[in-house]
Amino acid sequence: MKRAASSLLRTLVRTGKRQSRSVSKLVTALFAVPAAAKPERKRKPAAAPKPARKGSDPVRGQTPASGVRGQRASPPPPRHVPPSPGKWLASHFSAPPSVGTPARRMSYWLYLPNNPPEDTQRKGLPLLVMLHGCHQTATQFAQGTRMNQWAEQMGYAVLYPQQLVSVQAQRCWKWYDRATQEGGGDVPVIVGMINKVMSQYAIDRSRIYIAGLSAGAGMANIVALNHPQLFAAVGLHSGPVFGAGHNTIGALGVMQHGAATRTEAAAHEVMLRHPQFPGMPAILIQGEGDKVVRPINQLQLARQSRLLNRLSAAPKITHKPQGRGGRHNAHQLHDFYEGRKLLLRVAQIADLEHAWSGGDPALAFNAKAGPDASKMMLEFFSRHQRR
């Protein structure tokens, strides 16, 4: 009897240690510093936007990893990537203190296309806000997604806020924080930054969009749902379901298992806070091989989006086969319409892990094989404007 009890105890201890190591690995991978590193040198942010030389690559020559402690510098971009001819501006936004939040000074980068369409001279440029993921900087995100190249072709301004290491050491946006989910934390800082850019440049206020990857996707969703009149649509790549987590361990649970008990409740809470909620068109992109933010999150995000956009009809499903030579992963598109208006696109990409689809593989969290997520998002956004 004693032997059996002793054996059971040893088994339980071993199981507990394995579970502890698994959680520790997840925490280290996403929230902890990867390796010891020298402290960052304090740099004085630019007082005013400084344009890059005309014709220069807006990202080349930067040292993107310098802002993420313990992360090795990324290799230079592949030579076949053409430089973007537009303006690459670096600046910052100073947010005053608010209840529970100290004053903040957040850096950002802004891309302005060189040859925008003629109609933007009258209406202004559409603006896309791009939020990076953990262990990324704004410039790495711009380079990895190649969003500036597509923005040049399609005539978009692109704003890249950068999370402060003083707020989160790995530059993770705190999408799991309850106060942030309800519109606090970094939300007013990002909105204030957008308002600053709109006051300085000719921006079409009916065509403002927000997108992100991973933690950035979670944050983009939060900003959009708390300010639905400001944004015409949202793009979420590998993002967690909205309205759950509420602490670091809870966040890890959401990333692995979703949040079934909060899926519908969180969407209803948004509509209670905004009785005249106008809907929020969304494109949701997810790799089926993602083991960091698992696909269950996309299914639950789609359920939330259907509720917020009052969609009841069955989706139109399109199957896209794998491209020759593996250039494109096979994928499915689930499109939800209201009449002829596409309000929700759910893209499920075979074999893609936790990475931006069709991005620059020279940088972490980017996959060479398409479909190109940046192009997909801009094409979806072009269908929508806030009236």
pLDDT, tens digit, 9 for 90 and up, residues 194-215: 999 999 999 999 999 999 999 9
Per-residue pLDDT at 21: 52
Instruction: Give the 3-state secondary structure of residue 249.
Output: helix
Alpha carbons 222 and 385: distance in angstroms, whole number: 19
Beta-carbon contacts of residue 28 (< 8 Å; ≥ 6 apart): 34
Please state whether 155 falls in left (phi above 0), alpha (psi between -120 and 50) or beta.
left
pLDDT category at 35 given cuts 50, 70, 90 is very low
Beta-carbon contacts of residue 192 (< 8 Å; ≥ 6 apart): 93, 95
Burial label, 230 (beta-carbon count in 10 A; 0-12, 13-18, 19+): middle
Residue whose pair of structure tokens reads 């999370």 in the numeric block: 163
Which stretch of 2-6, 150-154, 250-254, 284-288 has the lowest confidence by average pLDDT? Answer: 2-6
- Residue 370 pLDDT > 80: yes
In this structure, which CATH number among 3.40.50.10490, 3.40.50.1820, 3.30.470.20, 3.90.930.60 belongs to the domain 52-381? Answer: 3.40.50.1820
The single-letter DSSP state of residue 127 is E
Question: pLDDT per residue over 43-94, tens digit each?
Answer: 444 344 444 444 333 333 332 222 333 333 344 444 343 468 899 999 999 9
Percent of the chain residues topping a pLDDT of 70: 78
Alpha carbons 139 and 121: distance in angstroms, whole number: 27
Contact (CB, 8 A) for 303 and 281: no
Contact (CB, 8 A) for 371 and 358: yes
Cis, peptide link before residue 77, omega less than 30° from 0:
no
